[in-house]
Structure 1
């Protein structure tokens, strides 16, 4: 009898060429499926809530898989972790109904972007935070961010290779707070387009540097044209921080920072 399980993962995106399996490169999906096969004794396909890109991290990615193997729930955490490389770990596991799907039944995704605003580039946090050396106008940034909330056509913030059926998404949260020179940006939406958060970051920082007024963000949204927007910002500080599901599944629905910053 086949059982469906859901896992929560964290990983350091610097070690991987993104989530999705690709030929001749190391990906999170490939490493996880290899570890699950070792534990289950048969090939396993892992399905993620979202496909993170190369260099993008996760403090809580949600994945489901099916198996005929009968193992205690701890085997899908500590046992699988014993076969995973450094830089990726299972946080918890839970049995779920067969109709659960990590991607299709999710009600919201949550991302966090960490940005160091300091004249000198980071060393200890290199690859773990984004960096901006110029002073930023945080009031202008907040004013610009508020214009992105709600349901919009986010075509101006969509990567050319995005495969989403529609560019219309509902952004329910975009908050920024500062702790010294470290800025935290928290995003929540029903779903995100490819590169959407990094493209939003690029536009907000364009405003915060004084290159455009906050109202320019509304013009970008209305234009629905990626070619007139600023470049995609670096992946270094981006974390998939959590995924929300209907309460019937009994899964944690809020991001759970474990390491202070994320």
Structure 2
């Protein structure tokens, strides 16, 4: 038995999220179907985290155990020939049997993209939220800084979150401005359901002058979803990267962090 790690990118526009669902098209189902056609095995892949319907990925990671003798370097091309064009396997590599793409992950980075043009860029429309009115980007940057560190993010997650607590650590967060677009990059040890999208929706209120930058901290401390802004549209969000830091077996987690890598979802 072998354990194969895989990096995959996908356009989430046509999917009902990454994780298999009883209804709708999902990335996981499409990949498992391709593996079944390739090897004849009924395999359940383990994703590094969930992405919601419409959310994209540049560097999602999954792993699976297989008895197949297909050379590791052939997995990417073999799967790509059996997948639709909106899913692309980027690379595959051998990992120890105990490697678990979700529990072994150390850091994850998401990007939220906003189209600032008066009229939307037709080619980027599926990947950027169009906001044609002026934003105070300096205020948004100041507000975002309040979220860096280890905090209870109850205010910035969906009321439908099933987690027993909402403590997460944000290592770094910043904005990058390019011609016609604003990108927020945020890196943490895990993300709650809709967390990045609620953060972005609230920062848009800061950019519009409806909130002050310091309100981001006040909302955080309030621990109530009702204090934060709206949930930003899914199509502006992309899972950029998952890092394993020179992989080692998952470290024991303390009582406050025991669920970080068990059900990461966005």
Ranges in structure 1 where 5+ consecutive residues have no aligned partner: 250-262
Distance 1:180 1:220 in 2: 31
Structure 1 stretch 210-219 or stretch 52-61: which is displaced more? 210-219
Cα distance in 2, alignment partners of residues 145 and 66 from structure 1? 40
For residue 239 of structure 1, report the CA deviation from its aligned partner: 0.7
Asked if 1:127 is matched to 2:131, the reply is: no
Q: Measure how far apart 1:246 and its partner are.
A: 3.2
SS of corresponding position for 2:42: coil
Conserved in 2, the CA contact under 8 Å of 1:4 and 1:64? yes
Counterpart-to-counterpart distance in 1, 2:46 and 2:143: 35
Provide the aligned C-alpha RMSD in A: 1.1
Please state how far the C-alpha of 1:122 moved relative to its aligned partner.
3.2
Deviations 1:167-220 (A, max 9, x none): 011111111011122112111001101110000000111001111111111110
Change (3 A) 1:49 1:230: same
Match of 1:64 in 2: 63
Regions of 4+ moved over 6 Å? none
How many Å apart are 1:128 and its aligned residue? 1.2
Question: Which has the larger displacement, 159-168 or 23-32?
Answer: 159-168
Structure 2 counterparts to residues 10-159 of structure 1, below 5 A: 10-159=9-158
* Structure 1 Cα separation of the partners of residues 127 and 46 of structure 2: 25
1:172 aligns to 2:167 (yes or no): no
The alpha carbon displacement at 1:234 in A equals 0.5
> Partners of 2:238 and 2:223 in 1: how far apart?
26
Task: Show CA shifts across 1:5-36 (max 9, x none).
Answer: 00000000001100011123110000000011
| Contact 2:12–2:54 (8 Å) recurs in 1 | yes
SS at match of 2:197: helix
Structure 1 distance, partners of 2:111, 2:123, is 19
Deviations 1:223-254 (A, max 9, x none): 100022111001112111111113146xxxxx
Q: Residue 39 of structure 1 contacts residue 75 of structure 1 at CA under 8 Å; is this kept in 2?
A: no
Aligned residues: 248
For the residue of structure 1 that corresponds to 2:173, the secondary structure is strand
Q: For 1:183 and 1:133, locate their aligned partners in 2 and report how far apart those are by CA, in whole Å.
A: 12
User: 5+ unaligned residues in a row in structure 2: which ranges?
Assistant: 249-266
Contact 1:4–1:66 at 8 Å: present in 2 too? yes
The structural deviation recorded for 1:151 is 0.8
Cα distance in 1 for residues equivalent to 2:23 and 2:198 = 28
